C-alpha cells in the first residue's frame, strides 16, 4: 500500500513515519522533558484521528513522567487497579501490565498468556477514547500487542456480511463470569444484565463507521459471550465468528513488537487489541493508562457513542 505521509513533517516540527503495517504512524520530534505546546497537542490529536494508532520513542519515562504526558490528552482512569497500587503524587490509577511476581504477589495484571481481541472497558457507557501503553521491561521473544483497525475492517466488509450486521445491536453481559449459567435464559434487552450498543457505530470526530466488538471470551479473564439482537445464541455466535474471521487479517492489523521506551497510543473506540503469549520465565512490564475522557482526542467530553 502506498502511504503518502511517510516521513512527512507536520505542524509543530513533529514528523510522521508509517508503522510496519497497514495503519498507524510513529511520531518523532516530541520532547518528553517539557509540557507540550498547544500546537503540538493538536498536531498529535490530528495524527491520532488520521491514523488511529501512534507510536513514540520515549526511553526513560518513569510513572510520573508517563502520567504527566498522558494528562495532556485527558483524564486517566483513576479506579483501583487489580494489583498493589502505585502512588504517583497521590494518583493511584496507574495500571501495571506484568507477569512479574514480587514477594509472592503479582506486581501487575494479565500474566503471560495470550489475550484475545478486545476493546478496553467495553461495557462502560463511554468506553475510553484511548488506551496508552508504555514498555518498561520487554521479553526477548513474544508478547507483541496487535491492534486491529475496525474502521478499515468495516469499510472492507463483504456486502453480504455488511447487510447482516447493519442495524443490529450487540449485548455485552455486565458480568464477566457466569458459573451458574444464569444468562442462558435471560432477556437480552435487560439493561441490568447487558450493556447494549449498536454493532456498527459512527466515530464522533472522524465520522467513519466502525464495528464495535467489545470482547468475547478471553481465556481466564472472561467466560461470557455477547449476544446479537434478532439472533439466537448460536446464530449470534456464528455471526460474530464471521466478523472475527474478517477482522483477523493482516490487512487491518498493526502488530507491535515492543522495545523498552515505546509509548503506544491508539483509539480504543474504533480499534480492538490482542496480546500474544510469552515465556513466563521472562519479565514483561508495561505501564497502562486508559483515558476515561479526553477533550483533546474525543469531543464532546464523555458523550456516549453515537449510533
148 near ligand AKG, judged by CB under 6 A:
no
Interface residue with ligand AKG among 27, 148, 288, 296 (CB under 6 A) is 288
Identify which of residues 26 and 120 has a Cβ nearer to Fe ion in the complex: 120
Closest CA to 88 of 103, 60, 68: 68
Identify which of residues 164 and 195 has a Cβ nearer to Fe ion in the complex: 195
Cα–Cα distance for residue pair 246/235, rounded to 1 Å: 17
Cα–Cα distance for residue pair 259/134, rounded to 1 Å: 9
Which stretches within 187-255 are classed as H helix? 233-247
Identify which of residues 97 and 213 has a Cβ nearer to ligand AKG in the complex: 97
**In this chain, which stretch among 45-53, 63-71, 115-123, 180-188 interacts with Fe ion, using CB under 5 A?**
115-123
Kind of pairing between the strands at 25-28 and 253-256:
unpaired
273 near ligand AKG, judged by CB under 6 A:
yes
Kind of pairing between the strands at 75-76 and 227-228:
unpaired
- With residue 210 as reference, give the H or E element that holds it: strand 209-211
Choose among Fe ion, ligand AKG, none what residue 275 binds, the Cβ cut-off being 5 to 8 Å by kind. Answer: ligand AKG
C-beta separation of 100 from 108 below 8 A:
yes
Identify which of residues 110 and 298 has a Cβ nearer to Fe ion in the complex: 110
Choose among ligand AKG, Fe ion, none what residue 211 binds, the Cβ cut-off being 5 to 8 Å by kind. Answer: none
262 near ligand AKG, judged by CB under 6 A:
no
Which residues on adjacent β-strands are paired with residue 56?
Answer: 263
115 near ligand AKG, judged by CB under 6 A:
yes
253 near Fe ion, judged by CB under 5 A:
no
120 near ligand AKG, judged by CB under 6 A:
yes
- Phi and psi dihedrals of 24, rounded to 5? 95, 150
CB of 268 vs ligand AKG, minimal distance in Å? 9
- With residue 39 as reference, give the H or E element that holds it: helix 38-51
- Phi and psi dihedrals of 54, rounded to 5? -130, 140
Binding site for Fe ion (CB under 5 A): 120
Binding site for ligand AKG (CB under 6 A): 97, 110, 115, 120, 131, 145, 273, 275, 286, 288
Amino acid at each position: 500500500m502506498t502511504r503518502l505521509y511517510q516521513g512527512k513533517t507536520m505542524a509543530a516540527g513533529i514528523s510522521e513515519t508509517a508503522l510496519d503495517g497497514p495503519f498507524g504512524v510513529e511520531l518523532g520530534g516530541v520532547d518528553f522533558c517539557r509540557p507540550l505546546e498547544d500546537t503540538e497537542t493538536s498536531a498529535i490529536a490530528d495524527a491520532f484521528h488520521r491514523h488511529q494508532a501512534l507510536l513514540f520513542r520515549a526511553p526513560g519515562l518513569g510513572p510520573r513522567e508517563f502520567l504527566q504526558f498522558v494528562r495532556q490528552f485527558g483524564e486517566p482512569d483513576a479506579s483501583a487497579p487489580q494489583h498493589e497500587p502505585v502512588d504517583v503524587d497521590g494518583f493511584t490509577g496507574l495500571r501495571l501490565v506484568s507477569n512479574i511476581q514480587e514477594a509472592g504477589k503479582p506486581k501487575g495484571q494479565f500474566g503471560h498468556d495470550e489475550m484475545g481481541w478486545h476493546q478496553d472497558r467495553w461495557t462502560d457507557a463511554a468506553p475510553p477514547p484511548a488506551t496508552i501503553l508504555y514498555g518498561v521491561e520487554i521479553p526477548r521473544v513474544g508478547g507483541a500487542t496487535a491492534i486491529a483497525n475496525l474502521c478499515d475492517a468495516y469499510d472492507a466488509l463483504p456486502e453480504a456480511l455488511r447487510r447482516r450486521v447493519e442495524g443490529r445491536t450487540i449485548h455485552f453481559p455486565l458480568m464477566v463470569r457466569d458459573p451458574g449459567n444464569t444468562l442462558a435464559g435471560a432477556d437480552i434487552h435487560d439493561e441490568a444484565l447487558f450493556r447494549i450498543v449498536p454493532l456498527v457505530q459512527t466515530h464522533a470526530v472522524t465520522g467513519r463507521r466502525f464495528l464495535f466488538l467489545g470482547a468475547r471470551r478471553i481465556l481466564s479473564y472472561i467466560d461470557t459471550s455477547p449476544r446479537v439482537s434478532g439472533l439466537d445464541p448460536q446464530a449470534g455466535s456464528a455471526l460474530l465468528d464471521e466478523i472475527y474471521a474478517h477482522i483477523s487479517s493482516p490487512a487491518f492489523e498493526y502488530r507491535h513488537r515492543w522495545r523498552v521506551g515505546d509509548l503506544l497510543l491508539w483509539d480504543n473506540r474504533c480499534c480492538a487489541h490482542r496480546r500474544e503469549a510469552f515465556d513466563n520465565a521472562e519479565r514483561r512490564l508495561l505501564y497502562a493508562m486508559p483515558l476515561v475522557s479526553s477533550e483533546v482526542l474525543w469531543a464532546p467530553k464523555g458523550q456516549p457513542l453515537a449510533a
